[in-house]
Structure 1
Amino acid sequence: MKLSIAIGLVLLLAHYAASLAAAGGGPRVIIVGAGMSGISAGKRLSDAGIGDFLILEATDRVGGRIHKTNFAGVNVEMGANWVEGVNGKEMNPIWTMVNDELKLRNFNSDYDHLANNTYKENGGLYEEAFVQKIIDRADEVEESGSKLSTTLHASGRDDMSVMAMQRLNDHIPSGPAAPVDMVIDYYKYDYEFAEPPRVTSLQNTKPLPTFNNFGDDVHFVADQRGYESVVYHVAGNYLKMNKSGAIVDPRLKLNTVVREIKYFPSGVMVKTEDGQIYRADYVMVSASLGVLQTDLIRFNPQLPSWKIVSIYQFDMSVYTKIFLKFPKRFWPEGPGTEFFLYASGRRGYYPVWQQFEQQYPGSNVLLVTVTDDESRRIEQQSDNQTKAEAVEVLRKMFPGKDVLDATDILVPRWWSNRFFKGTFSNWPIGVNRYEYDLIRAPVGRVYFTGEHTSEHYNGYVHGAYLAGIDSADILIKCAQKKICKYTVQGKYE
């Protein structure tokens, strides 16, 4: 039996459910997770007249991986921080909310001066012309890769890694070996996708739809209300809030950890860690891909093999923003100095730095970003050890400066947190539209959403927002129009 036929048969079980839901004021829906996708899905359901739902959130807040916290007297973002994709041919819906509706304080991030701000492993700057030549060559190869990508078969059968594309262009054929080559390569790929070029799919990242559709500009949100204001803004359209902006709607239950989802032809049953049982007609699961790859939520019966395989074929990457507070400033400030690179002989070792002269004036705070294996390593050591490593790097970068010990450090631990298990999804080699359709596909009464179900915008806030809408539309189509079959075309169709 063809996989597409088998999936169709499984999903037709939902027809019976739709007929039951048609009476009595519409279906009951449980949404698992109150991140951007879950909140967005809830709004879409509410707009369609489906208001009998519960949102069960494992943590004590809404927002998911969009989360502000106070650090050294200012609110900083532990997770999502940028609106990526601005000033293009299409309008990024998150940019509309951030800039026009909420008017959150934000700053255009200018990376054009990295050639002036790339530091040698043991101190001092590389010559600008030398670094710019490396950047220009990397840009040239990237453009060639984008052109190649558009010629590949849509099924993904000819896909390759970004590194394979680089080798086809005779670019660092043995991989970047010199520290400066490694840090430029890291900045161009790992800093965006949180995994190295040898892992990342060429076809699904070059050209990147976010920038191709929404524009090349990226804006750093530095508002004391927090980027999570966007999630509250969406929630406020359908959930009751008090005068201070807190959600007081009884349909939202915080600190409610879902551990089991049972699904039947006639409905679903959700069991939480505290032993509570909730019943509904449908469930929308917006847990992260990382969580789906663990046993935190048990499905009964077990999800079919096609679904499990699709979940494990995607990568959950780790992107860690480490904030450091210092007694005084010792780094350069002024135009063209916001971002700077450290060219270590160890790839990905405290490589990309940012100072906040504009965003948080007088804060004396630096941000350094690490990813992947370095993120996992750092999460497992003490903050004091991480602080010592980072300060040692800064002393190497600025040997003639009085680099005092950092007074405070903030190390988010997304990978270690059982409710997230990473920061965002990444498309590995060979995964394409077919696998995306499978990961998004409902299983009977169980629907799925999240940034990882966004075909074009996975990994981004706008991807999470749009995925919530798309997944809710699939559920609405079944519940209200009784069109419950979800067709997945074959891999090479």
Structure 2
Amino acid sequence: MVNSTLKLRNFRSDFDSVVSNVYKENGGLYDEDYVQKRMDRAYEVEELGGKLSKLMDPSGKDDISIMAMQRLFNHKPNGPASPLDMALDYFIYDYEFCEPPRVTSLQNTNPTPTNADFGDDNNFVADQRGFESIIHYVGSSYLNTDNNGNIADRRVLLNQVVRQITYNNYGVVVTTEDGSSYSADYVMVSTSLGVLQSDLIEFKPQLPFWKTIAIYRFDMGVYTKIFLKFPRRFWPVGEGKQFFVYASSRRGYYGMWQSFEKEYPGANVLLVTVTDDEARRIEQQPDNTTMAEAVAVLRRMFPDVDVPDATDIYVPRWWSNRFYKGSYSNWPIGVNRYEYDQLRAPVGRVYFTGEHTSEHYNGYVHGAYLAGIDSADIMINRVFKNQEFKVRGKYDNHVEVNCS
């Protein structure tokens, strides 16, 4: 609906061509038929994991990690070990969930609800208006806008950093970094999970133990897309050449590459994705070091090509940024529906929302959007209908515990 109105400039991502573009650690392509066999086996194991997941108790008490599932069906104690198998494993799991299989919940990610409900196709949005165009479009349905359709509602305060939320049985007071205070009957906290896990916002009184533990048990992943610009194109382009993979013996080391020849013809830009520990490591080093590392990888991939130095680089730092402290949440093992309910449960007059409170779509923008609707319903039911939010029992979906 949003795209049909905004007409976002987007392009289908051709992930099917990955098998024909997997490069060996010291250069040259793997045989496509061999890669396809290894990929087929990886997907076979994933499918078996999905069937196992559906047999597990809905409460989550039987949940295991994706790696444990791989051990069960692939009989490899430490998971995929060869550079090729690690690269394909990274493509299937880390590239989606931003964390490795050893920490990711099987039951809550396989099958992935987003793919099951909306399909497997992915489109890359290459729109110069930026993500804010979507925010202004959605917000314009209930906020005042200017002549250009941008939000211009004086009730929306921008560039205000919340540092303290004081609450009691009668209301809340939100204090910002510039010393201003705002009073309200209720407050909805929509910061990222990473911010909740940091010390940016102080709650007075402190959040109860059950709430704090729920916040810290969930994972905030780091997913970093690094853009590199070159003076000329040296990589292959054309049909089936959108993505290429570097199969390093060091898992996740500058492994997933994407060309933008279709999206931005002549821009000579490549994108490489890193996650988890590699993303955190790269965030802490100078950009010129990252540029040198990435170009060195490209020179190993294309040993017979004159690979020039990159002329520019952009490295997002989601983990280091105090307003994000990560990219999006990932559902870890050991967290079931009980802890999830605690994560989104209100504390008195303080309510919580965000993609991490979306039971089925955490980690996605549509999860954040739908979670906002759900959290608003929870607040409305309490304020106008006096209905308390109920947390499902630890291992029995029919037992309810009041955590207000």
TM-score under structure 1 length normalisation: 0.79
User: Which of 370, 379, 382 lines up with 1:475 in the alignment?
Assistant: 379
Asked if 2 retains the 8 angstrom alpha-carbon contact of 1:201 and 1:429, the reply is yes
* Residue range with higher mean Cα deviation, 246-255 or 437-446: 246-255
Find the aligned partners of 1:426 and 1:361 in 2 and give their Cα distance: 34
- 1:368 aligned counterpart, secondary structure: strand
In 1, the alpha carbon distance for the partners of 2:183 and 2:379 equals 17
What does the per-residue CA deviation read over 1:372-411, in whole Å, with 9 as the maximum and x for residues that have no partner?
0000000000000000000000011011111111101000
Corresponding letter in the other structure for 2:187: V
Write the distance in 2 (CA, Å) between the matches of 1:458 and 1:489.
Answer: 19
224-233 vs 339-348, which moves further: 224-233
Partner of 1:466: 370
- Contact 2:382/2:389 (8 A) holds in 1: no
Displacement of 1:482 in angstroms is: 2.8
State the number of aligned residues. 396
Are residues 1:293 and 2:167 paired?
A: no
Find the residue that maps to 2:391 and give its secondary structure: coil
Secondary structure of the structure 1 residue equivalent to 2:253: coil
1:363 to 241, 264, 267: 267
Aligned to 2:394: 491
Structure 1 stretch displaced more, 469-478 or 133-142: 469-478
Residues 2-30 of structure 1, C-alpha deviations (whole Å, 9 max, x = no match): xxxxxxxxxxxxxxxxxxxxxxxxxxxxx
**Could you tell me how far 1:255 is from its partner in structure 2?**
1.4
Contact 2:87 2:246 in 1 (8 A): yes
Select the residue among 299, 302, 307 that pairs with 1:403.
307
Alpha-carbon distance change, 372 to 292 in structure 1, aligned in 2, over 3 angstroms: same
- Is 1:224 the counterpart of 2:128 in the alignment? yes
SS of residue paired to 2:15: coil
Taking the TM superposition and a 5 Å limit, the aligned residue runs for 1:56-455 are: 96-98=1-3, 100-455=4-359
SS, match of residue 323 in structure 1:
strand
- Give 1:171 shift: 4.6
Question: In 2, Cα distance between the equivalents of 1:104 and 1:404?
Answer: 33
Determine the C-alpha separation between the residues in 2 that align with 1:171 and 1:103: 48
The two structures, once aligned, show a CA RMSD in angstroms of: 0.9
Asked if 2 retains the 8 angstrom alpha-carbon contact of 1:141 and 1:171, the reply is no
In the alignment, the residues of structure 2 paired with residue 104 and residue 374 of structure 1 have an alpha-carbon distance, to the nearest angstrom, of: 32
The Cα shift of 1:245 comes to 3.5
Residue 353 of structure 1 and its aligned partner are, at CA, apart by 0.3
1:224 is displaced (CA, Å) by 1.2
SS at match of 2:122: strand
Using the TM superposition, name which of 382-391 and 104-113 deviates more: 104-113
For residue 345 of structure 1, report the CA deviation from its aligned partner.
1.0
Q: Is the 8 A contact 1:159 1:430 kept in 2?
A: yes
Matching residue's letter, 2:137: H
Deviation at 1:170, TM superposition (A): 2.3
Contact 2:355 2:371 in 1 (8 A): yes
Task: Give the whole-Å Cα distance in 2 for the aligned partners of 1:216 and 1:177.
Answer: 27
Are the aligned partners of 2:137 and 2:149 in contact in 1 as well (CA < 8 Å)?
A: no
Tell me if the contact between 1:115 and 1:128 (Cα under 8 Å) persists in the aligned partners: yes
Letter in 1 for 2:57: H
Deviation, structure 1 residue 418: 0.5
Identity of aligned residues (%): 68
The answer for the alignment partner of 1:64 in structure 2 is: none
Would the aligned equivalents of 1:156 and 1:432 in 2 still touch at CA under 8 Å? Answer: yes
Q: Unaligned stretches of 5+ in structure 2? A: 397-404
Q: 1: distance between equivalents of 2:19 and 2:89?
A: 13
Cα deviation, residue 202, structure 1: 0.1
**CA deviation vs aligned residue, 1:311-343 (integer Å, no higher than 9, x gap):** 011000000000000000000101111011000
In the TM superposition, what is the alpha-carbon distance from 1:256 to its structure 2 partner? 0.5
The C-alpha deviation readout for 1:277-320, integer Å capped at 9, x for no partner, is 11000000000000000111111111011100110110000000
How far apart are 1:228 and its partner, in Å? 2.9
Q: Is the 8 A contact 1:221 1:227 kept in 2?
A: no
What CA distance in whole angstroms lies between the structure 1 residues aligned with 2:386 and 2:44? 51
TM superposition score normalised by structure 2: 0.96
Q: Distance in 2 between matches of 1:193 and 1:397?
A: 26
Contact 1:152 1:203 in 2 (8 A): yes
- SS for the counterpart of 1:488 is strand
